[in-house]
Amino acid sequence: MIAIITGDIVNSGLYPGGEWMLLLKRVLNQVGTQPGTWDIYRGDEFQVKTTKEKALEIALQLKSNLKTIRDLDVRIAIGLGDESFAGNKITESNGSAYRNSGRLFAELKSGRQSLAIRSKWIDKDETMNLMLRMALSFMDEWTPVSAETVAWHLLHPESSQQEMATHFNIRQSAVSQRLKRARTDLVLELLEFYRTFYKD
């Protein structure tokens, strides 16, 4: 089983592409290489292939990195399933993971939710999507500073608050406040729940 993430940049027209493209590619390059593992098309839409276990973490890395730019966000559909055909480009590949992701992404475009998941387990999806909606109630409201805090923490999960303070050149007490405001503890709990919940 694999995961396919299909998404686009919300409000991309507010900024020149160069301002957010570097952030997008920085996350995608950590996953693999273009165009086999990920690709960008139609200007601001993207697709990436990853493991089931890493899918939500990558989605949240994308969200937190893009939201470091004011008024930007991402809309992301995670599809879990198989890959029945692997093309030279991810956009040429096929399988249930691709169909789940693509169809869900089309639905998200006409709705208000910016992050959702679809698999063969309908009951699990209902539970997980409810939890995602609840988490989005604060993640959608991240300020650029909160988003930057979460993005750095996801990239350096073993780091101490003092190491974060040194990186951002702020006091450790300020780091603690940033982590609390961003609800980082809930983000990490959500990721851990997801990894356990979708175990085969």
The arithmetic mean of pLDDT across residues 183-196, rounded, is: 95
Query: Which helix (H) or strand (E) covers residue 186, if one does?
Result: helix 184-197
| 35 cis-preceded (ω within 30 degrees of 0) | yes
Provide the pLDDT for residue 179: 93
141-178 per-residue burial string, b: 16 or more CB within 10 A, e: under 16: ebeeebbbbbbbbbeeeeeebeebbeeeeeeeeebeeb
| Mean pLDDT for the stretch of residues 3-31 | 93
Domain ranges in the chain are: 2-197
- Give dist(CA 178, CA 180) in Å, integer: 5
Residue 42 has pLDDT above 90, yes or no: no
User: Rounded to an integer, what distance in angstroms lies between the CA atom of residue 130 and that of residue 128?
Assistant: 5
Banded pLDDT at 151 (limits 50, 70, 90): very high
- Which tokens is 38 given? 């990920």
List helix spans (H) across 34-160. 55-66, 96-109, 122-139, 144-155
How far apart CA 87 and CA 36 sit, in angstroms, is 8
Determine the pLDDT at residue 60: 98
pLDDT value of position 5 = 98
Confidence at residue 87, expressed as pLDDT on a 0 to 100 scale: 87
2-197 in CATH: which number? 3.30.70
Average of per-residue pLDDT across 92-103: 95
| Residue from 155, 125, 140, 132 nearest 58 by CA | 155
What share of the chain in percent tops pLDDT 90? 83
CA-to-CA distance for 111 and 164, rounded, in angstroms?
36
Q: How confident is the model at residue 112 (pLDDT cuts 50, 70, 90)?
A: confident
**The pLDDT of residue 45:** 95
Q: What is the pLDDT of residue 98?
A: 96
pLDDT of 10 > 90? The answer is: yes
